[in-house]
Amino acid sequence: MNEDRVALITGSSSGIGAAIARRLASEGMRIVVNSARSEAAGRALAEELPDAVYVRGDVTDLRDVGRIVQSAIDTYGRFDVLVNNAGTTRFIALDDLEGADAAAWREIFEVNVIGAWQMATAAVPHLRASGAGAIVNISSVSGTRALGSSVPYAVSKASLNHMTRLLASQLGPDVRVNAVAPGLVETPWYDEAEEVWESSREWITAHTPLRRVGAPQDVAEATLYLVNAAYTTGDVLTVDGGRHIV
């Protein structure tokens, strides 16, 4: 089923996005790798995969969005799967109300919410034409619980979860829309906040049933499941090692 399908993963030059690209490619999908920056890493990943192309573009720029989507059609003649992985955050303590200023809110929402919306709306006509279109949004447990790297980030993921359900209700039966909500995952983001990462990793490891933090591959496996789950839409799949049950 997967051998002819084309998957576009935004923000896929590293971390979770790159893991998703590799996992979908391992199932025979043809991949469009994307990043707003990190062009060298994106091109290297595309060259590593069996059948992939790289396109640079910013999901917050509507002109880029159209070009990113069109690149899938121009290269492969079809477009079946959109993974909205591109995202950003700022590490701002939840009680630092002044630190979470309007600029932080605009920056985070522009990528995490508006960018995902723009990609989805541009992709939908092609996903409908595929006959088995699917969108998977990469969210976060901070969208359902009072935690996260910052208040604007957590609220942006809550918005993405609700967007997922609204789109699913409107795009069926032609296009399925789901989300993956990871807990703490070891990614390059935490290179910028090593102290926060170390304390969080120790706490999560001690208090999570699976006794470890997440890896990008864990999110990739969940994404693959939702890409192929033909009778699942409007779901937000939690991938946090069981932390949400304790």
Catalytic residues: 153
Helical (H) or strand (E) element with 55: strand 52-56
Give Cβ neighbours of residue 161 (< 8 Å, ≥ 6 apart).
137, 139, 143, 144, 179, 181, 236
Query: How far is residue 240's CA from residue 223's CA, in Å, rounded to a whole number?
Result: 14
Query: How far is residue 112's CA from residue 99's CA, in Å, rounded to a whole number?
Result: 19
The two structure tokens encoding residue 43: 């091109």
Phi-psi region of 234 (alpha: psi -120 to 50; beta: other; left: phi over 0): left
